[in-house]
Amino acid sequence: MKRRDFLKSVTGVAAGAMVPAPAIWSAAKADARSETLLIVSEGGPNNLDIHGVGTNVPGYEVSWNCYDRLISHEMKSGPGGVPYYDRDKFKPELAEDMNVGDMSVTFKLKKNAKFHDGAPVTAKDVKWSLDRAVSVGGFPTFQMSAGSLTKPEQFVVVDDNTVRVDFAKKDRLTIPDLAVIVPCVVNSELVKKNASEKDPWGLEYTKQQTAGSGAYKVTKWTAGTEVIMERNDEWVGGPMPKVKRVIWRMVPQAGNRRALLERGDADISYELPNKDFQELKAAGKLNIVSLPFSNGIQYIGMNVTKPPFDNLKVRQAVAYAIPYQKIMDVVLYGLANPMFGAPADRATDVSWPQPTKYSTDIDKAKALMAEAGYPNGFETTLSFDLNFAGINEPLCVLTQESLAQIGIKTTINKVPGANWRTELNKKEMPLYTNVFSGWLDYPEYFFYWCYHGNNSVFNTMSYKSPEMDRLIDGARNAAATGDTATYDSDVKGFVDLAFSDIPRVPLYQPFVNVAMQKNISGYQYWFHRRLDYRALVKA
């Protein structure tokens, strides 16, 4: 299959400025500034390996840029003309050829592909890496199962340069699932040398250093402070990136990050308060990109297995007590799509995300609390991820104030970003806010992750409903067989059930906001919402 056939084969600065901004540039780093990209953000990675235990969202950015996958997505023009990944079109990365059969897909590897240490990339490396992804457990293994990739036996070495992936069943998510971050190809011989009986997949080794064939490699990582990545000049996964070096610095104070941008000392920043993004956009000295998360929701989650949130009326009371519009105005400055206040007479769409019919109604919330047996309320904790405190903290403060009006007294629990995923997966937090954005942009994929009862990693509410599972599974099967009527009915069914059982309350569809100097071009929106350095250009 030629490449052209491959592509068709699958369809507040004032206060901040008073604080001295941290020194970023040393003389040694300044000499090649035109080829160096300086990024500042609030938090950084806690692990360099996407397969690691509890790897946080910033860790995804490292993995995406330092490891290759067999295939990736083509780009299309998105909102405002910004390049946006095309969920239905794929292009080669480590593979030079893909042949999709009835119950398998076969990949021919690029023969000149090498790992960062110069070792050739072989089919054995691909199989070992995919075996690792379906075997390590936790998020990586569940992600693979989302595309019905569950057993090492599904990955077959045909020859040194050819690998076959056998389908467990017909599933339209299988091919797209091979293009997400998790099925990255790891230097198996290098990692095995650094593995042990207790750590057969070498997770401790790859937590601290990259072992891939990607466009960049980590040359220095100081947790919580800085990541330095250098371009891999032997990369064959795509056009050679223009940026030779990436310095990613963690600058916790938003005012300092904004000051660095405005002085021209930093090239790119995200995770600023939305107020800053609006002001910077109005000032016109920087390029500001604001795009909605694909398949994404910020929500308030409740643990439905423990009192008082095992009581439906309590959950409904919370849904009516949340100060939705105040959050939109005071925290987000309009940079989000509201997911509340849908017209009462509007039927459920065959889409996701879509708004609920809830809106702020304190009197109704109080009545529900009384009906639930909590007329005087109760005490609980409200938790959030400190890595995204700029949004999460004011959101939680406003929610705390509003819940107090119906007798729910909350203590805000600020969880360090490095621990957030681990704490979330314990499923012990009674009340919390979080974002989930499905990498594969299909409603049934989002609900498989967040509402299915089979111990889903992101079903952090511990919600279980046989009817919900039936509808999600039905939609997935209908999508695979092309049964549009059943698919539409099941999608509407599981959205309605999620809103009536309300184990989590959708708040809004967040925007990715990125501020860049005027001489930076090539920004692309990806499903993982992190930066892709490979396309960025610094004039």
Residue 212 within a domain: yes
Q: Are 244 and 309 in a shared domain?
A: no
Return the CATH number at 499. Answer: 3.10.105.10
Q: Are 487 and 526 in a shared domain?
A: no
Q: How confident is the model at residue 32 (pLDDT cuts 50, 70, 90)?
A: low
Q: Are 436 and 522 in a shared domain?
A: no
* Angstrom distance (rounded) from CA 149 to CA 130: 9
pLDDT tens per residue, range 484-539: 999 999 999 999 999 999 999 999 999 999 999 999 999 999 999 999 999 999 98
Q: Are 330 and 193 in a shared domain?
A: no
Residue 335 within a domain: yes
Q: Are 496 and 521 in a shared domain?
A: no
Q: Helix/strand/coil (H, E, C) string of 53-112?
A: CCCCHHHHHHHHHHCCCCEEEEEEECHHHCEEEEEEEEEECCEEEEEECCCEEEEEECCC
Return the CATH number at 171. Answer: 3.40.190.10
State mean pLDDT over 149-174: 97
State mean pLDDT over 402-421: 95
Q: Are 373 and 424 in a shared domain?
A: yes
Q: Are 491 and 523 in a shared domain?
A: no
Of all residues in the chain, what percent carry a pLDDT higher than 70? 94
Other CB atoms within 10 A of residue 236 CB: 18
Q: Give residue 88's domain range.
A: 3-251+517-538
Q: Is residue 164 within a helix (H) or strand (E), and if so which, with residue range?
A: strand 162-166
pLDDT tens per residue, range 33-49: 779 999 999 889 999 99
pLDDT tens per residue, range 429-456: 999 999 999 999 999 999 999 999 986 6
pLDDT reading at 16 higher than 70: no
Q: Are 352 and 225 in a shared domain?
A: no
Residue 527 within a domain: yes
Domains identified in the chain, total number: 2
pLDDT tens per residue, range 293-348: 999 999 999 999 999 999 999 999 999 999 999 999 999 999 999 999 999 877 78
- Give DSSP secondary structure letters for 437-506: E-SS--HHHHHHHHT-TTT-TT-TT----HHHHHHHHHHHHHHHHT-HHHHHHHHHHHHHHHHHH-SEEE
Residue 281 within a domain: no
Average pLDDT value for the chain: 93
Residue 272 within a domain: no
